[in-house]
C-alpha cells in the first residue's frame, strides 16, 4: 500500500476508523460531496491517475443531498440509493495502473 495514499486519506479521515485496504471512502470514512471532489482532484494530480472514466455520482452523494431524499425515503418506505464502494485498495490499484474506473 502506498504510504502517500495513507497519509492523504488520514487528512480526510474524520472518524476513528483505522485505514486498511478495505476501508470505503463514503461508507466508512463519511467522505462525500465537496470533500470527495477535493480529495479525488488532489489524487488525480498528485498520483497522475486518469479519472476521465470515473463516475463520481455512482460512488458519492452530493453535498447536502441527504435531507430531502432521506425524508422522501422515510415517507414512501423506499430504500435510499446504494452507492458503489470505493476502497483504499481501489485507489492503490489506480495508482499502479494509472486510471480509476
Q: What is the pLDDT, as a whole number, of residue 73?
A: 60
Tell me which long-range contacts 4-13 makes (C-beta under 8 A, separation of at least 24).
4/46, 4/47, 5/47, 5/88, 5/91, 5/92, 5/95, 6/88, 8/39, 8/42, 8/43, 8/46, 9/39, 9/88, 9/91, 12/39
Q: What is the pLDDT, as a whole number, of residue 24?
A: 95
Q: What is the pLDDT, as a whole number, of residue 72?
A: 62
Q: Give the residues of the chain that fall short of pLDDT 70.
A: 64-74, 80
Q: What is the pLDDT, as a whole number, of residue 29?
A: 93
Q: What is the pLDDT, as a whole number, of residue 52?
A: 96
Amino acid at each position: 500500500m502506498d504510504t502517500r495514499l495513507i497519509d492523504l486519506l488520514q487528512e480526510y479521515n474524520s472518524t476513528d476508523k483505522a485505514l486498511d485496504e478495505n476501508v470505503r471512502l463514503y461508507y466508512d470514512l463519511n467522505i462525500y460531496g465537496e470533500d470527495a471532489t477535493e480529495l479525488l482532484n488532489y489524487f488525480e494530480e498528485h498520483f497522475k491517475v486518469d479519472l476521465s472514466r470515473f463516475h463520481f455520482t455512482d460512488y458519492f452523494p452530493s453535498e447536502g443531498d441527504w435531507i430531502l431524499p432521506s425524508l422522501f425515503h422515510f415517507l414512501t418506505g423506499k430504500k435510499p440509493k446504494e452507492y458503489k464502494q470505493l476502497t483504499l485498495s481501489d485507489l492503490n490499484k489506480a495508482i499502479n495502473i494509472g486510471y480509476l474506473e
